Structure 1
Amino acid sequence: MNMDFIEALSDLEREKGISKEVIIEAIEAALISSYKRNFNTAQNVRVDINRQTGRIQVFARKTVVDEVLDPRMEISLYAARELNPNYQLEDIVEIEVTPRDFGRIAAQTAKQVVTQRIREAERGLIYNAFVDKEEDIVTGIVQRQDTRFIYIDLGKVEAIMPLNEVMPTEKFKMNDRIKGYITRVENTTKGPQIVLSRTHPGLLKRLFELEVPEIYDGVVEIKSVAREAGFRSKIAVYSSNPEVDPVGSCVGPKGARVQTIVNELKGEKIDIVRWSEDVGEYVANSLSPSKVVEVEVFEEEKMARVIVPDYQLSLAIGIKGQNARLAAKLTGWKIDIKSETQAEQEFGREKTYAEEMPQDSVSID
């Protein structure tokens, strides 16, 4: 090991951000093990690498004692004072024991340590880069698939997408470019593990943030998202500026913004509804595309009874209850849907054929 090696470590520190001192200390620790392994010794030794010249020295460390029982670990007071008259009992004496051919072992060990440290540093940089992107969207290229995962190349690292995080309506081929939502970033012994999802509600939220400038600017806020991936989603939006229509902003000119998201989600239907502090109004909006006649709110049970026109009952409930289920997820309220006829029969409510409640929502198929 020489000055060129020390200079190389300095270059590595600048380029990779790996501390030269940390690497040298790691090499010194590795050389202690190499020395004991290659020279069959149980001595207590210290390895020193000169930070300027790169010179390596091995020192046996021995305790000063009255009577030597183990010459590998101990030295007599008399022998110690021959080296330095100031030594006292229990002091530690260091005697150089550097083998002649230790340079070859040192070079090999140093190479292994440096390689390992570079790998660890690169893994650390990748982990730090992606841990900040947790709950965000990344774009990658499909590499392969097995019985559990789809493997996606993100450039510096390969991410995994569990098959249960893939929408049931989509199939991927090799080299397909796809967007994924980062649900988890873990630092494992094999390096960073990045887990992606295409079914997470966060994917829909992030897609709207990318497509709608008003959301990015903070004028329009996404209050809630409910999703049954690949089939239907609902998103509740609110505008802090009364002059900005949150639903219209998300739909975009001629539906262009939301259509881009629908295309990305392979035709998933999206209902965009206006969020409201008024629970009744919010629940009515959440049941889009069905029309609502009346909403009765029960605060204690956190339940809302919704009355819809007879001809709208099946639409309000949805196929296999999907529309009602998503509305309940979106609002956080239990929703009991009744037709006007059912309400009359069960609660004695007369059919009034009143005008339907105004709703502010849009459904995109």
Structure 2
Amino acid sequence: MNIELITILDEIEKEKGIPKEVILDAVETSLVSAYKKNFPQDREAVEIDINKENGTVQVLTKKIVVEKVANPSTEIDLEQARLLKSDKVELGEEISLEITPEEFGRIAAQTAKQVIVQKIREAERKAVYERYIDKVRDIVTGVVQRQEYYNYIIDLGKAEAILPPNEQVSSESYRKGSRAKFYVVEVKKTSKGPRIVLSRTHPDLLKRLFELEIPEIHEGLVEIKQIAREAGKRSKIAVTSRDDMVDSIGSCIGDRGARIKSIMTELQEEKIDIIKWNEDDKIFIANALNPAKVLFVQLFEKEKKALVVVNDQQLSLSIGKEGQNARLAAKLTGWKIDIKSESQYKQENNIDKNVDLSKMS
């Protein structure tokens, strides 16, 4: 090794931000191990010294100056010590001796190269981790790079991330080169570098998209209260206004539906119902069943159950395809919802068919 090593380390410090001393310390530690491995017959305790000016390497051992040597690995007699070091050496003094083997230069060069590569890799992994750990529970944009078994590898520009099967939307197509927004679920340190896990199914992906696309939400004028999502199919999002002058639902829809269409396009046309939140659970449950119109809501607080009555013609709409509308409404409100038609409810409770149920609530 020579001055080139120091020059290389100076460049690495500038480009990668790794202090030269950090690499030199690591190289010295590795060279001690390399020396012991390549020269096992030498039982002396050794140190490595790298000249920080010219890059030269010395293998050093320390010995105590004694009158009569009992242990050659740790002791040296006075006559030899003075011959090798100085006439001023005294008994009991610890001296440092160079024992660099002739062939150690090649070993040192190989070891230094390995350590430098390792330190650069560690620094790059650390930079990736620090960059993306702050992105957890946030949105990133990525490009589908390839498929590995059931996982998709997503290129984030500065790093690769993984989209596992349980975070994929079954109805979505992840073609190579396609670009999309992803929710960052986890960033975890591993022996192979940071593992960044993404999601397209997480409810908070929808939340973050609304925060990005709707200025009133970003500014705090409109608040998202609850989200219920069946990814790729349909979602319900409950919003409320903190300003009487701001229409919470209108803000989310946008002029001619431009804002909500933008979000739906990002989610590959997932249907989104924007629901007006209300602190009155009866009103909130009725709103949550949108687009169906509710006649009457009865609450059973102890069981956290709600009986909802709708016009006969609205029954299938309120339940939804395969029960989806009712299921999402229940998830959104936190209430178990039982939906009955007007005629069924009146028959079961012996109520005259001409009674207006909407006035009962």
State whether TM-score is above 0.5.
Answer: yes
The offset of 1:354, in angstroms, is: 4.1
In the alignment, residue 17 of structure 2 is paired with which amino acid? G
Candidates 343, 346, 350, aligned match of 1:344: 346
The answer to whether the Cα contact below 8 Å between 2:64 and 2:92 also exists between their aligned partners in 1 is: no
Over 3 Å counting, the alpha-carbon distance change for 1:103 and 1:294 in structure 2 is same
Q: Measure, in 2, the Cα distance between the counterparts of 1:16 and 1:3.
A: 20
The offset of 1:243, in angstroms, is: 0.8
**Does residue 19 in structure 1 map to residue 19 in structure 2?**
yes
The offset of 1:76, in angstroms, is: 5.9
Over 3 Å counting, the alpha-carbon distance change for 1:105 and 1:313 in structure 2 is same
The answer to whether the Cα contact below 8 Å between 1:12 and 1:18 also exists between their aligned partners in 2 is: yes
TM-score scaled by length of structure 2 = 0.88
**Alignment partner, residue 353 of structure 1:** 356
The offset of 1:301, in angstroms, is: 2.7
Q: Secondary structure at 2:180's aligned position in 1? A: strand
**Alignment partner, residue 361 of structure 1:** none
Residue deviations 1:146-177, cap 9 Å, x none? 43111222222222212332222222322222
The answer to whether the Cα contact below 8 Å between 1:344 and 1:350 also exists between their aligned partners in 2 is: yes
Residue deviations 1:103-145, cap 9 Å, x none? 3322221111111111111111111111111122222222222
Residue deviations 1:233-280, cap 9 Å, x none? 101112211111111111010011111111222221110001122211
Q: Measure, in 1, the Cα distance between the counterparts of 2:215 and 2:285.
A: 27
> In the TM superposition, what are the counterparts of 1:146-161 in structure 2 within 5 Å?
146-161=148-163
**Does residue 226 in structure 1 map to residue 231 in structure 2?**
no
**Alignment partner, residue 276 of structure 1:** 278
The answer to whether the Cα contact below 8 Å between 1:287 and 1:324 also exists between their aligned partners in 2 is: yes
Q: Measure, in 1, the Cα distance between the counterparts of 2:159 and 2:202.
A: 22
Over 3 Å counting, the alpha-carbon distance change for 1:67 and 1:184 in structure 2 is farther
The offset of 1:67, in angstroms, is: 8.1
**Alignment partner, residue 238 of structure 1:** 240
**Alignment partner, residue 316 of structure 1:** 318
Q: Measure, in 2, the Cα distance between the counterparts of 1:326 and 1:87.
A: 84
In the alignment, residue 312 of structure 2 is paired with which amino acid? D
In the alignment, residue 85 of structure 1 is paired with which amino acid? E
Count of aligned pairs: 354
Identical-pair percentage: 54
Q: Secondary structure at 2:183's aligned position in 1? A: strand
**Does residue 49 in structure 1 map to residue 50 in structure 2?**
yes
> In the TM superposition, what are the counterparts of 1:281-320 in structure 2 within 5 Å?
281-320=283-322
The answer to whether the Cα contact below 8 Å between 1:3 and 1:53 also exists between their aligned partners in 2 is: yes
**Alignment partner, residue 191 of structure 1:** 193
Task: Give unpaired runs (5+ residues) of structure 2.
Answer: none
In the alignment, residue 45 of structure 1 is paired with which amino acid? V
The offset of 1:339, in angstroms, is: 2.3
**Does residue 9 in structure 1 map to residue 9 in structure 2?**
yes
Over 3 Å counting, the alpha-carbon distance change for 1:357 and 1:209 in structure 2 is farther
Over 3 Å counting, the alpha-carbon distance change for 1:64 and 1:306 in structure 2 is farther
CA RMSD of aligned residues (A): 2.6
Q: Measure, in 2, the Cα distance between the counterparts of 1:256 and 1:340.
A: 37
Over 3 Å counting, the alpha-carbon distance change for 1:242 and 1:81 in structure 2 is same
The answer to whether the Cα contact below 8 Å between 2:44 and 2:61 also exists between their aligned partners in 1 is: yes
**Does residue 162 in structure 1 map to residue 164 in structure 2?**
yes
The offset of 1:86, in angstroms, is: 6.0
